[in-house]
Structure 1
């Protein structure tokens, strides 16, 4: 986003969107590791699973946000409030882009499907590391603190991947 666009987004809204981005990234790690470990998924099945997981998370978030808004305000969110909900929840849809691109590369024969799925998980773990480092820098703790924060976030993503792989799902 450009600087003026960032200024237009409230800090709370940006924080909520980042939370969704991190949640979606961790969830997508679980999805692609599960697919890679299944041993019997094809390209179309992988595309359907990644797309369905992403869209399902997004729709669940919208339903939950609308219900919470309705309970708190006595009406459905509309206009600006609805646009804010859509903005905040957009990373839940965007989390599918990387895995879908890599699945597409696999469909073109450049790599095996399992390799594409494991690469997607690795890229998502690296993304968690980058966000952790960025958060550490924003907190003003210096380079070492930023690297530790990144390592903790990456460890969480790796733990999710390991649990999923060891569970055999």
Structure 2
């Protein structure tokens, strides 16, 4: 293999890894919207319980992603992922843990009396919807469609996040 072909392969691998990590980040963001809206709709939750729910939801998603990735790797390659492959799995799935940081900070602010718990949870949902909008806009810009296309892409992504929130709120969970 020539040096140029090897460089192109490395570049493609890096791009695929970045795309996989972003996919996990978006999935985690949408999931966290659902979790915090569900908590905001509960009249019996306190800050400690909300924090525990957010943390366990995030950790559960992360562990399930690792189990699924490892199982898929074993089926395809006939061996456990180790070394670079395992580090890549951990890197790609890390947004599933990071998605809890914002809501946990806001829940912590609530526990300190800065805001009410319901306000903290709804703010966390709003920030996550705004994050989806920003990623949608960025994707639209990267596609070269111009500002109007970027705003439309952002609005569609934000609408998906809002729909998740509304369905969760309507279900009363």
Q: Same fold (TM over 0.5)?
A: yes
Runs of 4+ in 1 over 2 A off after TM superposition: none
- Matched positions, count: 163
Map Cα deviations across residues 86-115 of structure 1 (whole Å, 9 max, x no partner). 000000000000000000000110100000
Task: Say if 2:30 is the partner of 1:18.
Answer: no
Map Cα deviations across residues 107-149 of structure 1 (whole Å, 9 max, x no partner). 1101000000000000000000000000000000000000000
Task: Say if 2:45 is the partner of 1:75.
Answer: no
* 1:145 aligned to which of 146, 149, 158: 149
* 2:168 aligned to which of 161, 164, 168: 164
Question: 2 CA distance for matches of 1:9 and 1:155?
Answer: 31
Match of 1:55 in 2: 59
User: When the two structures are superposed, what TM-score results if normalisation uses the length of structure 1?
Assistant: 0.95
Question: 1 CA distance for matches of 2:42 and 2:30?
Answer: 19
* 2:122 aligned to which of 107, 118, 122: 118
Question: 2 CA distance for matches of 1:62 and 1:38?
Answer: 30
Match of 1:130 in 2: 134
Using the TM superposition, give the Cα deviation of residue 165 of structure 1 relative to its aligned residue in structure 2, in angstroms: 0.2
Secondary structure of 2:94's partner?
helix
Q: CA RMSD in A?
A: 1.1
Unaligned runs of 5+ in 2: 1-10
Match of 2:38 in 1: 34
Q: Which has the larger radius of gyration?
A: 2
Map Cα deviations across residues 3-47 of structure 1 (whole Å, 9 max, x no partner). xxxx79700000000000000000000000000001110011001
* 2:90 aligned to which of 82, 86, 91: 86
* 1:64 aligned to which of 62, 68, 90: 68
* 1:97 aligned to which of 92, 101, 118: 101
Secondary structure of 1:75's partner?
coil
Question: 2 CA distance for matches of 1:9 and 1:118?
Answer: 38
Question: 2 CA distance for matches of 1:146 and 1:131?
Answer: 10
User: When the two structures are superposed, what TM-score results if normalisation uses the length of structure 2?
Assistant: 0.93
Question: 2 CA distance for matches of 1:8 and 1:87?
Answer: 16
Question: 1 CA distance for matches of 2:49 and 2:67?
Answer: 26
